[in-house]
A and B are shown apart, each in its own frame.
Chain A
Amino acid sequence: MSAWFDGWRRVLAARAIVAGVYAATLLTALPLALTMRGLIEADLGRSAMADRAADGVNYDWWQEFTARATGIGTTLTPSVIGFAATLDNVSSLLDGQRENVAVMAALATYLLVWTFLSGGILDRYARQRPVRAHGFFAASGVFFWRFLRLGLVAGLVYGFLFTYVHGWLFDDLYERMTRDLAVEREAFAWRAGLYLVFAGLLAVATTVFDYARIRTVVEDRRSAIGSLLAALGFIGRHPGRVAGLYLLNALAFLVVMAVWAGVAPGAGGAGLSAWLGFVGSQCFVVARLLVKLQFLASQTALFQRLLAHAGYTAAPAHVWPESPAAESLRT
């Protein structure tokens, strides 16, 4: 519990990180969003159908648009409205559905950006003091390649989970367990149970990789395999605390989801209404980012409490490198 609160303190103390990851989330999505806007405008052209599309929902036009669309245009479905977006995305993740190619490219870019930023984020949370932009990006640069190596292993693990484990659970086991069921809620109970199992496996995997990244940063480890083994060792020695912290963070995530489900804007209108809805949605994005950062911060706090001490990092603080010429000027 103290690690959980400590995590929030660390997150809220490093507001620049929150701003930075929000900017990354916004800027990564922006190019495709502009493309989508262009597709919609081109399709509507000078049609008066745009009035209803702007002021509410023009489902007639919408269905024509998606029928004519190719590429990302086909992803403009009613599921983009409000909380349906979250349901849609979580559902497609758990159901192992593939996304549009351009969307997958945006996802890959975003994951790469996070991989880069994670080093600086964890370093900042571990040191618990401002490190300035140069310190942050220096740490990001140092750990990026190590995290890439770790990411390769993670990719193999997640690939195995989504390709083989997911297929076995949902295409094989679920089919066998439910094919003779005549009661829908029993079939759903099976599916929900398998979702929990699969989500649990994902949670275990992400926890291992999270602590591997933490140990890489805090202990300045170079070996991805070594970090993984160290993470497994740490989790194995403190399963209860690790799991308890994870559940607390998951609860925070669910609270954010529940609030969002209640306040998510609908289709709305154009102009000010659209911008207000967008701003409200961005508050939700920031809230999710805070929860994501809390995972990292609280896990770092827990690790330091149990294995090291607050503020401990093995690597020295990154200082702005000064050339001899600059140094001579100063003196």
Chain B
Amino acid sequence: MPPRAVALAFVVACSSLINAQQGTPSPRNASYTIEARLLPEARSIRGREVIRWRNTSSRPTSELQFHLYWNAWRNADSTWLRERRLAGLYTEPRPDAWSATDVTRLRLRAGFGGAGAWADLTEQQRFIAPDDGNAADRTVMSVALPAAVAPNESVDVEIEWISKIPRPFARTGYVDDYYFIAQWFPKLGVLEDAGWNTHQFHAATEFYSNFGVYDVALTVPAEFVVGASGRETARRTNDDGTVTREFHGEDIHDFAWTASPDYIDLTRRFEHATLPPVDVRLLLQPERRGLAERYFAISNATLRLYGEWFGAYPYGHMTVVDPAFQSGADGMEYPTLLTGRGRWLAPADVQVPEMTTSHEIGHQWWYGLVATNEFEHAWMDEGINTYATARVMDEAFPGNRVEARYFGGFIPWVFDEIPFTRIENDRLAGYRDNAEADIPATPTLRYWPSTATFISYNKTALWLHTLEKHLGWPVMQRALATYFERGRFRHPQPADFFAIVNEVSGRDMTWFFDQVYRGSNVFDYGVQELSSRLKPAPTTVHETSVVVRRYGEATFPVDVVTRFENGEEVRERWDGLDRRVIYTYERESRPVSAWVDPDRVLLLDVNYTNNSRTLAPRASDAGLKWGLKWMVWLQDLMLTYAFFV
């Protein structure tokens, strides 16, 4: 290497080290310089990377651990596929669906850009399975080091690898000439004070990694449009019909990219009086060009509301990808890059593109900036985000409707009379059916795979929404804004979140977190009895009894409201701890109804039907009406089958 280049590299390295220690938003202790070439005929990627890593833990390490995520689909014995099979979610992949990542060379050099010699550690690769001991799983690679790396010391790691791109598994892969490439390069695990936190790739988990600077050069066929994390900084045309595009991203912890010759490429700028501008780039499928305005509208709304509620989006750019049909890339988040969910036939009243895009943009805050450990605490990203984007949809797009899809899922039908409310966006239905599946405090990688999302997403969103109703939105908003501000770039733990809620609210909510986070008990309050009798003459007083019951094992304070014929309403506050409470009233008027939790504060209540009782029930009216409707459906079905006789 020429002396001048060595000096330049040394200066750059030293300045990077200084920046990492002084005033950069994130620690930048894992920075990647990657050169990769897409090989479309072979459906492969050949890559070379230099990782600049600094030990920010308090302990030395004699090994480095890497994620090789694509080995999860190397064969059917990986932990990812074994868990899918165990949970009944397995479909035998096609022969061309498998993937692999093979490291062909691995070298190490002490210090950033140091002049020291490279040590070839290629033969030191070994695969470990720290979670389940599955010797067939090759998603975590350990490399023994010739010398320990002490706290605050740094190394350069050079890796050359070749990866076989999968047909879509977990949101990554190709279909036809559409590529969505995520979790594609050998990525360092996270060294914490307790040791390496490098989990295997599990069916129910996502990812966790350190922040850094990414400089990525992607070589693809010239006709391909490319979107990626970071901003494109340079482009050069090569003699072999390819183009190399260079991207740069700072203070991010991952890098994903997409390439297709078919993308429609649109850019709009988000502007706000107090929030920094963001260039929103939309990569759209040609058959869905009609969704462009919808994508931009929801992007603007989410950037605005998240920015106003929690804190500004700092990166200045974002790429929204409308993924190709059957790409499996729908609804996923990567730093400054995300995928929405469009359909060829997408009724305006069914806001699936909006809900998905808002959710993935919201991830830029919780996944991208706060960056909690998704292997262990997925709820801190998915749950908080589900809760927050449900609020975005409720505020910005209240006209959402329920739909059904027929004829192989292609033809939509909108039910104009059935709104898709915020509670639906909190995903109550899925939670209700799986309320006891797992204790949320269990590390996510141990959740049962087929029900993991109902705990991480649904239950968390519901208890956060319950907390909002209990504490009030202003307190909740301040708590989340404080959590975001303090947690950005710092990978907080659950205890950090709970402490902030307690601090900001000025109340000890530990009792609540014990119920919803450290347990899997079910909430169910109901009115067991509402009765009234006229007391013996000469009085005209009615004696009303209201019996409220706790049917579930979890507890929460609830209101009980009894309404009388003369319009009077009595509201009681019950701590909800005992199995039942009885309220007795003596009034001139008969009661009409009794409700427990009439304002629906406790959204985790799995049976809201039993929350009320009335002396003038209309179940027969409802039964007749819906019985008739169902009968017409049955008659229609019979007539359809009468086609054969």
A151-B644 Cα distance, complex, nearest whole Å: 9
Indicate whether A34 sits within 8 Å of B642 (C-beta atoms), given known contacts A44-B617, A84-B404, A103-B637: no
B625 x A54 contact (CB < 8 A): yes
Contact with B along A65-91 (1 / 0, CB 8 A): 101000000011111110111111111
B614→A187 contact, CB < 8 A: no
Report A24-77 residues with CB < 8 Å from chain B CB: 25-26, 28-30, 32-34, 36-38, 40-51, 53-54, 56-61, 63-65, 67, 75-77
A181 interfacial by beta-carbon distance below 8 Å: yes
Neighbouring A residues of B410 by C-beta, 8 Å: 184, 187-188, 191
Question: Would you list which residues of chain A between 172 and 198 have a CB under 8 Å from chain B?
Answer: 178-185, 187-188, 191-192, 195
- Take A64-B607, A111-B644, A180-B176 as given contacts and tell me if A79 and B404 are in contact as well, using a CB distance cutoff of 8 Å: yes
Q: Are A56 and B417 in contact (CB under 8 A)?
A: yes
Q: Which B residues are in CB contact (< 8 Å) with A84? A: 404, 413, 415
A275→B625 CA distance, assembly (Å): 8
The answer to whether A48 and B612 touch (CB under 8 A), given A41-B620, A53-B626, is yes
- B residues near A183, Cβ cutoff 8 Å: 285-287, 324-325
Contact of B595 among A30, A48, A180 (CB under 8 A): A48
| Tier of interface size on chain B | 35 or more
Q: Does B633 contact A (CB under 8 A)?
A: yes
Given contacts A28-B638, A59-B418, A180-B176, contact A87 B406 (CB under 8 A): yes
Chain A residues whose C-beta falls within 8 Å of the C-beta of B495 in the assembled complex: none
Residues from chain B with a CB closer than 8 A to the CB of A266 are 416-417
The number of chain A residues touching the other chain, given as a range, is: 35 or more
Q: Are B628 and A270 in contact (CB under 8 A)?
A: no
Closest Cβ–Cβ distance, residue A253 to chain B (whole Å): 9
Contact B623 A40 (CB under 8 A): yes
A27 to B: closest C-beta gap in Å: 11
Please tell me if the beta carbons of B343 and A289 are within 8 angstroms of each other in the complex.
no
Residues of A within 8 A of B631 (CB): 29-30, 32-33, 36, 278
Residues of A within 8 A of B175 (CB): 180-182
Q: Which residues on A sit within 8 Å (CB–CB) of B637?
A: 85, 89, 99, 103, 107
Least distance between B128 CB and chain A CB atoms (Å) = 35
- Please report the C-alpha to C-alpha distance between residue A76 and residue B632 in the assembled complex, in whole angstroms: 12
Contact of B608 among A49, A86, A179 (CB under 8 A): A49
Cβ of A262 under 8 Å from chain B: no
| Chain B residues, Cβ within 8 Å of A192 | 407
What CA separation (Å) do A56 and B631 show in the bound complex? 18
Q: Is A271 an interface residue (CB 8 A)?
A: yes
Given contacts A91-B406, A94-B407, A277-B628, contact A41 B612 (CB under 8 A): no
- Report A128 CB to chain B, min CB distance, Å: 22
| CB pair B178 A41 closer than 8 Å | no
Shortest CB distance B558–A (Å):
16
Determine whether the beta carbon of A50 is less than 8 Å from that of B344. Answer: no
Inter-subunit contact B593/A48 (CB<8 Å): yes
Question: Across the two chains, which residue of chain A brings its CB closest to B641?
Answer: A107
Contact check, B635 vs A40: say whether CB atoms are below 8 A apart: no
A274: which of B612, B617, B624 is its contact (CB, 8 Å)?
B624
CB distance from B569 to the nearest CB of A (A): 14
Measured CB to CB, the nearest residue on chain B to A86 is B636
> B613 and A46: CB pair below 8 A?
yes
Q: In the bound complex, do residue B325 and residue A26 qualify as a contact, i.e. CB atoms below 8 Å apart?
A: no
Q: Is the CB of B417 within 8 A of A182?
A: no
Q: Say yes or no: is B429 at the interface (Cβ < 8 Å to chain A).
A: yes
B234 within 8 A of A: no
A83 proximity list for chain B (CB < 8 A)? 413
Cβ-based interface call for A288 (8 A): yes
A289–B645 alpha-carbon span in the complex (Å) = 12
Instruction: Report the separation of the CA atoms of residues A47 and B623 in the bound assembly, to the nearest whole angstrom.
Output: 13
Known: A60-B608, A191-B408. A54 touches B327 (CB 8 A): no
Q: Is B274 an interface residue (CB 8 A)?
A: no
User: A215 to chain B: closest CB distance in Å?
Assistant: 16
CA distance A311 to B613 in the complex (A): 65
Q: How far is the CB of A236 from chain B (nearest CB, A)?
A: 22
Among A110, A178, A185, A206, which residue has its beta carbon within 8 angstroms of that of B638? A110
Q: Which residues of B contact A53 (CB under 8 A)?
A: 618, 622, 625-626
User: Quick one: given A181-B325, A184-B287, A268-B625, are A50 and B640 in contact (CB under 8 Å)?
Assistant: no
Task: Enumerate chain A residues within 8 angstroms of B609, measured Cβ to Cβ.
Answer: 43-45, 47, 49, 61, 64-65
Determine the chain B residues whose CB is within 8 A of the CB of A28 once the complex forms: 638
CA distance A271 to B618 in the complex (A): 11
Q: Give Cα A42–Cα B262 distance, bound, in whole angstroms.
A: 55
Q: Is the beta-carbon distance between B402 and A59 smaller than 8 angstroms?
A: yes
Whether the Cβ atoms of A93 and B632 lie closer than 8 Å is no
Residues of B within 8 A of A110 (CB): 638, 641-642
Q: Is the interface of A mostly helix, strand, loop or mixed?
A: helix
Question: In the assembly, what is the distance between CA of A151 and CA of B406, in Å?
Answer: 30
- Asked if A182 and B326 sit within 8 Å, CB to CB, the answer is yes
Q: In the bound complex, what is the Cα–Cα distance between A242 and B180 (angstroms)?
A: 52
Cross-chain contact B644 with A206 (CB below 8 angstroms):
yes
- Nearest CB in chain B: distance from A152 CB, A: 13
Is there contact, CB below 8 Å, between A114 and B645? Answer: yes
In the assembled complex, B627 has its CB within 8 A of some CB on chain A:
yes
Q: Are A81 and B635 in contact (CB under 8 A)?
A: no
Q: Report whether A50 and B622 are in contact in the complex, using a CB–CB cutoff of 8 Å.
A: yes
Interface residues of A in 240-261 (CB under 8 A from B): none
* Contact with B406, one of A88, A178, A182, A202 (Cβ below 8 angstroms): A88
Cβ contact of B326, chosen from A85, A99, A179, cutoff 8 A = A179
Residue in A63, A81, A184 whose beta carbon sits within 8 Å of that of B429 in the complex: A63
Chain B residues lying within 8 Å of A86, measured Cβ to Cβ, are 636, 640
* B510 CB within 8 Å of chain A: no
B575 touches A (CB below 8 Å): no
Name B325-373 residues within 8 Å CB distance of A: 325-327, 343-344
Q: Which residue of A lies closest to B403 (CB)?
A: A78
| Cβ contact within 8 Å between A41 and B622 | yes
Residue A115 at the chain B interface, CB threshold 8 Å: yes
Q: Is the CB of A32 within 8 A of B634?
A: yes
CB distance from A217 to the nearest CB of B (A): 14
Interface: A267 (CB within 8 A): yes
Cβ of B630 under 8 Å from chain A: yes
- Taken together as a complex, chains A and B put the C-alpha atoms of A275 and B627 apart, in Å, by 11
Evaluate contact between A44 and B619: CB separation under 8 angstroms. Answer: yes
A250 to B493 alpha-carbon distance, docked (Å): 64
Do A81 and B417 contact each other (CB < 8 Å), given the known contacts A50-B621, A181-B176? yes
The answer to whether the Cβ of B411 comes within 8 Å of any Cβ in the partner chain is yes
Interchain CA distance A48-B597 in the complex, whole Å: 13
Nearest to A53 among chain B residues (CB) is: B622
User: How close is B167's CB to chain A, nearest CB, in angstroms?
Assistant: 9
Q: How far is the CA of A230 from the CA of B285 in the complex (A)?
A: 54
With A61-B609, A107-B638 already in contact, the answer to whether A274 and B625 are too (CB < 8 A) is yes
Is A154 located at the chain interface by the 8 A CB criterion? Answer: yes
User: Which A residues touch B416, using CB under 8 A?
Assistant: 266
Contact of B622 among A40, A106, A151, A181 (CB under 8 A): A40
Could you jot down 27 A-B contacts, CB within 8 Å?
Answer: A26-B635, A33-B628, A36-B630, A37-B624, A37-B626, A40-B622, A43-B609, A45-B609, A47-B614, A47-B619, A51-B614, A51-B618, A53-B622, A54-B618, A57-B417, A75-B630, A80-B632, A84-B413, A88-B406, A89-B636, A182-B177, A191-B407, A267-B629, A282-B632, A285-B632, A289-B639, A292-B642
| Apart from A33-B627, A40-B626, A78-B418: 6 A-B pairs, beta carbons within 8 A | A40-B619, A89-B637, A179-B326, A183-B325, A184-B344, A275-B628
Closest CB pairs A-B (n = 8): A37-B627, A33-B631, A91-B406, A44-B619, A41-B623, A48-B612, A182-B324, A270-B621
Q: Which residues of A contact B (CB under 8 A)?
A: 25-26, 28-30, 32-34, 36-38, 40-51, 53-54, 56-61, 63-65, 67, 75-81, 83-91, 93-95, 99, 103, 106-107, 110-111, 114-115, 118, 151, 154, 158, 178-185, 187-188, 191-192, 195, 202, 206, 209, 266-271, 274-275, 277-278, 281-282, 284-285, 288-289, 292
